[in-house]
Protein backbone atom coordinates (compact mmCIF):
# COMPACT_ATOMS: atom_id res chain seq x y z
CA UNK A 1 0.00 0.00 0.00
CA UNK A 2 1.28 3.36 -0.86
CA UNK A 3 0.19 6.48 0.90
CA UNK A 4 0.14 8.08 -2.54
CA UNK A 5 -2.40 5.53 -3.76
CA UNK A 6 -4.65 6.24 -0.80
CA UNK A 7 -4.36 9.99 -1.40
CA UNK A 8 -5.21 9.59 -5.08
CA UNK A 9 -8.26 7.51 -4.15
CA UNK A 10 -9.38 10.15 -1.66
CA UNK A 11 -8.91 12.89 -4.25
CA UNK A 12 -10.97 10.89 -6.75
CA UNK A 13 -13.68 10.39 -4.11
CA UNK A 14 -13.78 14.10 -3.29
CA UNK A 15 -13.91 14.98 -6.99
CA UNK A 16 -16.84 12.62 -7.38
CA UNK A 17 -18.64 14.22 -4.45
CA UNK A 18 -18.10 17.64 -5.99
CA UNK A 19 -19.45 16.46 -9.35
CA UNK A 20 -22.47 14.89 -7.70
CA UNK A 21 -23.19 18.08 -5.75
CA UNK A 22 -22.76 20.24 -8.84
CA UNK A 23 -25.13 17.96 -10.72
CA UNK A 24 -27.75 18.31 -7.99
CA UNK A 25 -27.43 22.10 -7.92
CA UNK A 26 -27.67 22.42 -11.70
CA UNK A 27 -30.25 19.63 -12.03
CA UNK A 28 -27.84 17.73 -14.31
CA UNK A 29 -28.59 14.04 -13.77
CA UNK A 30 -25.69 12.95 -15.96
CA UNK A 31 -23.17 14.92 -13.88
CA UNK A 32 -24.68 13.49 -10.69
CA UNK A 33 -24.30 9.97 -12.06
CA UNK A 34 -20.70 10.64 -13.10
CA UNK A 35 -19.96 11.81 -9.58
CA UNK A 36 -21.47 8.71 -8.01
CA UNK A 37 -19.55 6.51 -10.46
CA UNK A 38 -16.30 8.27 -9.63
CA UNK A 39 -16.92 7.76 -5.91
CA UNK A 40 -17.63 4.06 -6.48
CA UNK A 41 -14.38 3.65 -8.38
CA UNK A 42 -12.46 5.26 -5.53
CA UNK A 43 -14.18 2.95 -3.03
CA UNK A 44 -13.24 -0.12 -5.09
CA UNK A 45 -9.63 1.01 -5.32
CA UNK A 46 -9.55 1.51 -1.54
CA UNK A 47 -10.94 -1.99 -1.06
CA UNK A 48 -8.16 -3.33 -3.27
CA UNK A 49 -5.60 -1.51 -1.14
CA UNK A 50 -7.16 -3.08 1.97
CA UNK A 51 -6.81 -6.55 0.45
CA UNK A 52 -3.17 -5.88 -0.39
CA UNK A 53 -2.54 -4.71 3.18
CA UNK A 54 -4.21 -7.82 4.61
CA UNK A 55 -2.09 -10.04 2.37
CA UNK A 56 1.08 -8.33 3.53
CA UNK A 57 0.04 -8.68 7.16
CA UNK A 58 -0.54 -12.41 6.73
CA UNK A 59 2.80 -12.79 4.97
CA UNK A 60 4.56 -10.83 7.72
CA UNK A 61 2.93 -13.01 10.38
CA UNK A 62 4.31 -16.17 8.76
CA UNK A 63 7.76 -14.67 8.21
CA UNK A 64 8.26 -14.15 11.94
- Report residues of the chain scoring pLDDT below 70: 1, 64
d(CA 41, CA 46): 9
Angle between helices 29-63 and 3-26 (to 10 degrees): 160
- Host domain of residue 50: 3-63
Confidence at residue 5, expressed as pLDDT on a 0 to 100 scale: 86
Confidence at residue 19, expressed as pLDDT on a 0 to 100 scale: 97
Confidence at residue 15, expressed as pLDDT on a 0 to 100 scale: 97
Confidence at residue 35, expressed as pLDDT on a 0 to 100 scale: 98
Q: How many domains does the chain have?
A: 1
d(CA 64, CA 43): 32
Confidence at residue 42, expressed as pLDDT on a 0 to 100 scale: 96
Confidence at residue 13, expressed as pLDDT on a 0 to 100 scale: 96
Amino acid sequence: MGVGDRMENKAEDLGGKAKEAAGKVTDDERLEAEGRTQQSKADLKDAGEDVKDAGRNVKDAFDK
